[in-house]
Amino acid sequence: MAIRLRLRQALLALMGAMLLALPVWAVDVPNRNAPPEHRSMREARALIAEKRWAHAERVLAAHVVAEPQDADAHNLLGFSLRNLGRLEESLVAYRRALELDPGHLGAHEYIGEAYVQLRDLARARVHLEALVRLCPSGCSELDDLLASLAAAGARPAAATSAARAASRPR
C-alpha cells in the first residue's frame, strides 16, 4: 500500500512538472505582432503616401532615435524633410542612410534629387553614376533621377549616357 501511494505521488508530481513545462514548449511560437519600430515605419509610409510630410517627419525622427541603424528610416526621413523644403537637413538624413547602406538605391535617388533642387548638378551626377553601377540592367531609381536631371536641363555625363543606353532592353 505504501509503495502504491508513493508511486501515485511520484506520478502526480511528474504529471504536474510536465504541465508546468508546457508553456515553455509554446514559447517558440512566432510573435504575430510586429515590434513597435516596424509599426512606426508602416505609419510613416502611410503618412508619406498621404503627403503628410510634417507628421511623417515626426514619426521618423522618433524612429531613428530608437533604431539609429535603420537606413530605410533615415532615407524616408530625408524624403519627408526634402518635401518640407528642409533640403540641408534632408541631405544629412540621406548621407546617414548611405553610411549605413552604401548600396541603398532609394537614398542615392533621393539625395541626387535633393542636389538637383539645390542646383548642385555635379553632386547629383555622382549619385546617378552610383545608380548606374548598382543597377546595370536599369532600375526605377536610376530612371527617376535621370528624369529629374533632364527636367532641370542637365545633360547626363557621357559615361552615364553610355551605361544607361547599354542597360536598356532592345
* Phi-psi group of 25: left, alpha or beta (phi > 0 → left; psi -120 to 50 → alpha; rest → beta): alpha
Question: Could you give the residue ranges of the DSSP H alpha helices within the chain?
Answer: 2-26, 36-49, 53-66, 71-83, 87-100, 105-117, 121-134, 140-151, 158-167
**pLDDT score for 16:** 57
Mean pLDDT of the chain: 83
User: How many structural domains does the chain have?
Assistant: 2
- Report pLDDT digits (tens) over 77-132: 999 999 999 999 999 999 999 999 999 999 999 999 999 999 999 999 999 999 99
| Whether residue 96 is found in the same domain as residue 123 | no
| Whether residue 113 is found in the same domain as residue 143 | yes
3-state secondary structure of 9: helix
| Whether residue 79 is found in the same domain as residue 122 | no
| Whether residue 69 is found in the same domain as residue 121 | no
Q: Which residue has the cell 553610355?
A: 162
Its pTM surpasses 0.85? no
Instruction: Establish how many alpha carbons lie within 13 A of residue 132's alpha carbon, considering only the half-sphere containing its beta carbon.
Output: 20
3-state secondary structure of 16: helix
| Whether residue 80 is found in the same domain as residue 46 | yes
3-state secondary structure of 70: coil
Domain that residue 89 falls in: 37-101
**pLDDT score for 32:** 47
